[in-house]
Structure 1
Amino acid sequence: MPDVSALLEKPQRAGVIRTVLDNNPGLDADMAERIVNEAIKFTVACAQFPGARLRPSRVVDEGWHALILHTRVYKELCDGLGRFVHHTPESPNPSRHNPGELTRTQEKIAETGFTVDDALWLAPADESIPVAATCEHSPPGPNGSCTGDCSNTGPN
Structure 2
Amino acid sequence: MSSPSNLPVPHPPGHPLPAVGARQLLSDAEFNAVLGTILTNNPDMAIEMGGRIITQALAFVATAACKPGRAVPPSRVVDEGWHTLILHTELYWRLCARFGNFVHHIPEQPDSGRHDQAVIHRTTTLIRAAGWDVDEDLWCGPEDSLVAVAAKCQHSDDSGPIVIIPKPKG
TM-score strictly above 0.5: yes
Counterparts in 2 of 1:148 and 1:100: CA distance versus 1, 3 Å: farther
- In 1, distance between residues paired with 2:46 and 2:84? 16
Please give the alpha-carbon distance, in whole angstroms, between the structure 2 residues aligned to 1:102 and 1:76: 26
SS of alignment partner, residue 62 of structure 2:
helix
Q: Determine if the alignment matches structure 1 residue 88 to structure 2 residue 106.
A: yes
Partner of 2:165: 154
Residue in structure 1 matched with residue 14 of structure 2 by the alignment: none
How far apart are residue 137 of structure 1 and its match?
Answer: 2.3
Tell me the CA shift for residue 88 of structure 1: 0.5
Q: TM-score, normalised by structure 2?
A: 0.83
Structure 1 residue 4: Cα displacement: 1.3
Q: Percent identity?
A: 41
C-alpha root-mean-square deviation of aligned residues, in Å?
1.4
Q: Is the 2:72–2:123 contact (alpha carbons within 8 Å) kept by the matching residues of 1?
A: yes
Please report how far the alpha carbon of residue 148 of structure 1 lies from its aligned counterpart in structure 2 after TM superposition. Answer: 4.5
Which structure carries more helix by proportion? 1
CA distance in 2 between partners of 1:137 and 1:7 (Å): 24
Aligned to 1:106: 124
Distance 1:107 1:49, change over 3 A: same
Unaligned runs of 5+ in 2: 1-18
**Once the 2 structures are TM-superposed, how far is the Cα of residue 138 of structure 1 from its aligned partner?**
5.0
2:42 to 15, 24, 30: 24
Separation of aligned partners in 1, 2:79 and 2:119:
14
Report the secondary structure of 1:115's partner residue: coil
TM-superposed deviation, 1:50: 2.2
Runs of 4+ in 1 over 3 A off after TM superposition: none
User: Is this contact kept in 2: 1:53–1:101, CA < 8 A?
Assistant: no
Structure 2 SS opposite 1:134: coil
Q: What CA distance in whole angstroms lies between the structure 2 residues aligned with 1:20 and 1:57?
A: 16
* Secondary structure at 2:145 match in 1: coil
1:43 maps to what in 2?
61
Unaligned runs of 5+ in 1: none
Q: Across the two proteins, how many residue pairs are aligned to each other?
A: 149
